[in-house]
Amino acid sequence: MEIRELEQNDLPDYLNLLKVLDEHNSMSLTEAEQLVGKIRCYPYYKIFLILNEEGQITGTFSLIICDNFGHGGLKFAIVENVVVHPEFRSQGIGKAMMLKAREIASENNCYKLMLSSNETRTEAHSFYENIGFERHGVSFRTELINK
């Protein structure tokens, strides 16, 4: 298993994998290419891919590290767009991804690593709890764009 950052030529397969997470809100390859350019301007916003021995993308996660005034200036990290392809679940890929995210956040002096998950994804919740994440607080959101 290899974990590495997204490269431009990975975009078609990456976009297909993201459809597992949200099949109704995909973007074109051109839009994705433009977005990668914007994301590279962020101080720390990286998209990681997990590849098997055959070089297939089996999973992905994004990691964003934010500077912070609170907590004495300690940074915090957010994991987003966590996906393991359904054919490759229960093989340790998700755990490897979250351990990598935790390692990177720790190396960058983050005081916490957080993520959110849809309340209907109870299997995902059990997974996160089994690898050391704790339910914390209450999450709120408001839609800003009509989908």
Question: Taking the chain (147 residues) in consecutive chunks of 10 residues, what is each chunk's mean pLDDT?
Answer: 94 92 82 93 95 94 95 93 91 93 95 82 76 78 74
Residue 5 near residue 48, CB atoms below 8 Å:
yes
Question: 84 in helix, strand or coil?
Answer: strand
Record the pTM. 0.86
pLDDT value of position 130 = 78
* Backbone CA torsion sign across 108, 110, 129, 59: negative
CATH class, domain 2-130, is alpha beta
Domain ranges of the chain: 2-130
pLDDT value of position 49 = 97
pLDDT value of position 1 = 87
Compute and round to an integer the Cα radius of gyration of the chain: 16
| Alpha carbon distances (Å) from 59 to 6, 42, 48, 120, 140 | 11, 23, 8, 21, 27
